């Protein structure tokens, strides 16, 4: 694999602060790392470590103060609002802790909301089957459990066939068993569609399913580890 292809996502000396004067808080203080195409990368850290901010900057929905993010060599900072939207549309899929489904669209339609954005979307029925949502496809979000809603949210993200799947605390609102199922689904998507996955979590255990673990604390990368002993999500324990 060529170097440029391997260094799919580059994060270089990223700095970001909020507030001014005494209230100023440096959230990211020079973050550097790269993510290779097709890998599962877990950004680990306690609350306030800057991991969500980092994810938002990578997603093009927040802006860094300095440094840059480049995907396939294209720097996000050079893009205007329109290009950033196109970048998200073409390359990214988002999964949030809260599922943010559209309440008056059913399961299938919520997934179609993602498919609509892509020039080459995955087959919606196939995604429904993969996610175990075939029996629920005509249900509304409020008729589903939290885990099922998160499956729909993953479906909406992966159906786009994105280059990167961004997951912000995807299991934060779920119980242990459901969390494992959701992580297994994310893992499946990575394997099946070759999607690069970035998971933001404070759950140490989730790092075991990653190819690449980046540990953040106080706005800097404390550890940047390639996980040689990757575990299947179903075997995770916490």
Partner 1 sequence: MKNPLMKRIPKELASDWHKYLVIIVFMVVMIGVISGMYVGHDSMLEAIAAGREALRIEDGSFELSKKASSELLAAIESGQRADVRQYFIDEGLREADEEVAEAIEKELDETVRNRIERAVREQCRAYGITDENLITSRIEAAIEANYDDAIAQTRESEEYRKAADAAYEKAHEAVVEAVDEKWDEISDEYDLNDAFEAVPVTVWENFYRNESEDNNNDGEEDATIRLFRSDSPVNKASFLEGRAPENPGEIAIDRMHADNVGVAVGDTITVGGRPFEIVGLLSYVNYLTLHESNTDLMFDAFGFDVGMVTPEAFSVLPSRLHYNYAWFYAERPADKVSMADNAEYFLKALITQTLVNDSEIESFVPEYLRQASNFAPSDIDSDTAGTAIMCYILIAVIAFVFAITISNTIEKEANVIGTLRASGYTKRELVVHYMTMPVIVTLIGAVVGNALGYTAFRKVALDLYYNSYSMPACEPTFSREGFLKTTVIPLALMFLINLFVILKRLQLSPLRFLRRDLRKTRRSKARRLPAWSFLRRFRLRVILQNVSNYAVLIFGVIFIELMLCFAFGLPDSLTHYSKKAPDMMFAEYQYMLMGSKDEEGERITTSEPTAERFSSTSLKYAKKHNALFEGMGSGGDETVTVYGILDESAYIALPDALKTGEVFISTAFRNKFGLKEGDEILLHEEYANKSYTFTVRGVTEYDGGIAVFMKNDSFNEIFDRDEDAFNGFLSRKKLTDVEEKNIAVVITQKDITKVTNQLMHSMGQFFWIFKIAMVVLSAALIYLLAKIIIERNEQPISMAKILGFQNGEIASLYILPTAIVVTVFALISFVMGYFLMIWIFKVFMMQMDGYFAFYMTPASMVLSVVYLLVGYAFVSVIDFVRIKRIPMDEALKNIDV
- The Cα 232–Cα 45 span in angstroms is 21
The answer to whether 32 and 11 are in contact (CB under 8 A) is yes
32 or 62: whose CB is closer to partner 1?
62
Q: What are phi and psi of 196, to 5 degrees?
A: -70, 135
Residues 6+ apart with CB under 8 A from 187: 40, 209, 232, 233
67 or 121: whose CB is closer to partner 1?
121
163 or 211: whose CB is closer to partner 1?
163
CB of 108 to partner 1, least distance (A): 9
How many CA atoms, within 13 angstroms, populate the side-chain half-sphere of residue 102? 12
The answer to whether 184 and 149 are in contact (CB under 8 A) is no
CB of 142 to partner 1, least distance (A): 8
CB of 232 to partner 1, least distance (A): 28
105 or 225: whose CB is closer to partner 1?
105
Q: Which residues bind partner 1 (CB under 8 A)?
A: 56, 59, 61-62, 82, 85-90, 92-94, 96, 98, 100-102, 104-105, 109, 112-117, 121, 146, 156-157, 160, 173
**3: exposed, middle or buried (C-beta count within 10 Å: 0-12, 13-18, 19+)?**
exposed
98 or 226: whose CB is closer to partner 1?
98
CB of 184 to partner 1, least distance (A): 23
CB of 226 to partner 1, least distance (A): 28
Nearest to 221 by CA among 50, 8, 47, 7: 50
Residues found in the chain: 238
């Amino acid at each position: 694999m060529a170097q440029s292809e391997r260094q799919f996502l580059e994060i270089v000396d990223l700095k970001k602060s909020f507030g001014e004067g005494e209230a100023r808080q440096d959230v990211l203080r020079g973050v550097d790392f790269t993510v290779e195409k097709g890998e599962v990368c877990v950004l680990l850290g306690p609350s306030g470590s800057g991991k969500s901010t980092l994810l938002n900057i990578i997603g093009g929905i927040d802006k860094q103060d300095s440094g840059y993010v480049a995907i396939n060599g294209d720097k996000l900072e050079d893009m205007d609002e329109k290009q950033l939207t196109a970048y998200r549309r073409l390359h990214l899929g988002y999964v949030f802790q809260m599922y943010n489904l559209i309440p008056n669209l059913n399961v299938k339609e919520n997934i179609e909301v993602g498919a609509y954005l892509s020039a080459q979307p995955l087959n919606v029925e196939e995604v429904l089957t993969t996610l175990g949502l075939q029996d629920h496809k005509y249900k509304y979000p409020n008729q589903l459990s939290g885990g099922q809603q998160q499956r729909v949210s993953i479906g909406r993200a992966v159906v786009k066939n994105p280059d990167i799947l961004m997951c912000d605390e995807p299991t934060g609102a779920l119980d242990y068993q459901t969390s494992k199922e959701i992580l297994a689904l994310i893992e499946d998507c990575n394997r099946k569609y070759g999607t690069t996955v970035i998971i933001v979590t404070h759950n140490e255990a989730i790092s075991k399913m990653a190819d690449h673990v980046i540990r953040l604390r106080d706005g800097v990368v404390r550890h940047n580890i390639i996980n040689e002993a990757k575990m299947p999500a179903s075997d995770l324990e916490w």
